[in-house]
Amino acid sequence: MTLDIQPNPEQLAQAAADFISAQVKAKPDLSVLVATGHTPMPTYAELARRVRAGEVNFSRVTAVQLDEYLGIDDDDPRSLWSWMRRSFVAPLGLTRTVRLDSPRQFEAAIRELGGLDLAILGLGPNGHLGFNEPPSPPDAPTRTLALTPASLASNAAYWGELAVPTGAITAGMDVILAARQTLLLVGGAHKREVLHAALERPETPEVPASFLRRTALTVIADEAAWA
């Protein structure tokens, strides 16, 4: 595991953009599992800036959706597919995507890609990865599930007046842990407790992110999250 502590969220985004750009330069047809949520947004904005400046080319990269709410349309502001397209696919100029529609189709698409090269992940306040809610063992498959009260509460921050959908589909722990590299981005004092649990305490399904230590893991956190 590599743990990279950056002084603030801006530097975190720079370091994460450096990491992801280096992967794309080494393998232009990289397949990437893409988290939405707040934490990676400045990173994606910095990557978009680099693409516009001609510093890196994402045109052969495939973006793979990590998770989605159930029962909402693409044009619903809560659609994570739309969020991924808005924040990552369109600004970085990607043409290849894998949508998380059904577990079977999703797993087949990943097999066809030859597996995932990189998983870009955020850390849920309850230790979730994607929507792999506690408890999620390392072999938890791609599936639909009910969100926990903790996730409903934290996701409410994204949607203002709109209700948080209660059902979701997520890439399985098995898919995430099979990625050839994992990048976990963590910012803010509210993640400190769970970050320490994920990196330092024994592996447990109660903190699904604790299983990331089995992977080729890079954690980029800010000082607030690690202090």
Show which residues are catalytic. Answer: 67, 126, 128, 133
Which residue from 130, 165, 172, 208 is in contact with ligand F6R, where contact means CB under 6 A?
130
CA angle at 171 for the pair 168 and 176, rounded to the nearest 5° = 145
As measured in angstroms, the least distance from the Cβ of 137 to ligand F6R is 17
188-227 residues in contact with ligand F6R (CB under 6 A) are none
Run of H or E residues at 149 = helix 149-159
Q: Does 37 bind ligand F6R (CB under 6 A)?
A: yes
Q: What is the DSSP letter of 8?
A: S
Burial of 159 (0-12, 13-18, 19+ CB in 10 A): middle
Q: Does 80 bind ligand F6R (CB under 6 A)?
A: yes
Measured from each CB, the residue nearest to ligand F6R is 122
As measured in angstroms, the least distance from the Cβ of 189 to ligand F6R is 12
How many residues line the site for ligand F6R (CB under 6 A)? Answer: 14
Task: Classify strands 67-69 and 167-170 as parallel, antiparallel or unpaired.
Answer: antiparallel
Which residue from 47, 66, 147, 183 is in contact with ligand F6R, where contact means CB under 6 A?
66
Burial of 112 (0-12, 13-18, 19+ CB in 10 A): exposed
As measured in angstroms, the least distance from the Cβ of 36 to ligand F6R is 4
Nearer to ligand F6R, 33 or 109 (CB): 33
Q: Does 117 bind ligand F6R (CB under 6 A)?
A: no
Which residue from 6, 21, 36, 218 is in contact with ligand F6R, where contact means CB under 6 A?
36
Q: Provide the terminal-to-terminal Cα distance of the chain, rounded to the nearest Å.
A: 18
Q: Does 39 bind ligand F6R (CB under 6 A)?
A: yes
Q: Is 69:165 a contact under the CB 8 Å cutoff?
A: yes
Q: Is 191:125 a contact under the CB 8 Å cutoff?
A: yes
Residues that bind ligand F6R (CB under 6 A): 35-39, 66-67, 80, 122-124, 128-130
